[in-house]
C-alpha cells in the first residue's frame, strides 16, 4: 500500500515513474517504504499543487518510439515505444506485487529481447501465487496486468480501494465488477 501511495502522489502531480521495480523500492529502518529513482519519469502535464512551485516539463531526450526502462517491468505499451500514462505505473506495480508474492519476476527471459517478448506475448502465471493469496488480491493483479492498457486499472488509487475491500460487496453479490468489467461469482 505504501508503494501505491507513493505512485498516487506522483500521479497527482502529473508524473509517471516509468521504471518502478524492486531495486527502486527501499524499506527504511522505521518501516516506511520509499520509491526512488525518478530518473526516467515523465511529466505528463504541468501541475501546481497548493503552496508548491509549478512543476514544468523540461525538454526530454525520450520520445514516442524510444524504448526506455527495465524490460521485466515495462508495460506492453512502454515496451513498444508507444505513449505512456499512469496505467504504465499500474502495470509495473502489478509486476512488483507479483514478485513480492511469488519470489520471482512476473516476466523474465534469457536477455532483454526475450524478456520483452514475454511481456508482449505471455500472460502472467497466476498459478505461481501461493494458495493463501486472497481472491481480491488475485483479481487486482489480473486487472493491473492487463496487456491492453484500456482494460487495465486506470488509477493506482483504485488498487488501494480494492485492497481496502471497497468492491467486495459487489463480488459477493455476483455482479459485474465496476473496474474490471468481468462477471464475478
Per the residue annotation, which of 19, 32, 155, 158 is the catalytic one?
19
Bridge partners of residue 34, in order along the sequence: 26
3-state DSSP of the chain: CHHHHHHHHHHHCCEECCCCCHHHEEECCCCCEEECCCCCCEECCCECCCCCCCECCCCCCCCCCCCCCCHHHCCHHHHCCCCCCHHHHHHHHHHHHHHHHHCCCCCCCCCHHHHHHHHHHCCCCHHHCCCCCCHHHHHHHHHHCCCCHHHCCCCHHHHHHHHCCCCHHHHHCCCECCCCCCECC
The answer to whether 19 is a known catalytic residue is yes
Catalytic residue numbers, as ranges: 19
Amino acid at each position: 500500500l505504501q508503494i501505491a501511495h507513493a505512485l498516487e502522489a506522483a500521479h497527482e502531480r502529473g508524473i509517471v515513474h516509468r521504471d518502478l521495480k524492486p531495486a527502486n523500492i527501499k524499506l527504511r529502518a522505521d518501516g516506511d517504504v520509499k520509491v526512488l529513482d525518478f530518473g526516467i519519469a515523465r511529466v505528463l502535464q504541468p501541475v501546481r499543487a497548493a503552496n508548491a512551485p509549478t512543476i514544468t516539463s523540461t525538454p526530454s531526450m525520450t520520445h514516442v518510439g524510444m524504448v526506455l526502462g527495465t524490460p521485466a517491468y515495462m508495460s506492453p505499451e512502454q515496451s513498444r515505444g508507444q505513449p505512456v500514462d499512469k496505467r504504465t505505473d499500474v502495470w509495473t506495480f502489478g509486476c512488483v506485487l507479483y514478485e513480492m508474492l511469488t519470489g520471482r519476476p512476473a516476466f523474465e527471459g534469457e536477455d532483454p529481447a526475450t524478456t520483452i517478448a514475454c511481456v508482449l506475448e505471455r500472460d502472467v502465471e497466476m498459478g505461481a501465487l501461493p494458495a493463501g493469496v486472497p481472491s481480491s488480491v488475485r483479481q487486482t493483479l489480473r486487472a493491473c496486468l492487463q496487456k491492453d492498457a484500456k482494460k487495465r486499472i486506470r488509477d493506482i488509487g483504485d488498487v488501494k480501494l480494492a485492497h481496502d475491500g471497497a468492491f467486495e460487496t459487489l463480488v459477493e453479490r455476483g455482479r459485474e465488477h465496476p473496474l474490471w468489467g468481468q462477471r464475478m461469482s
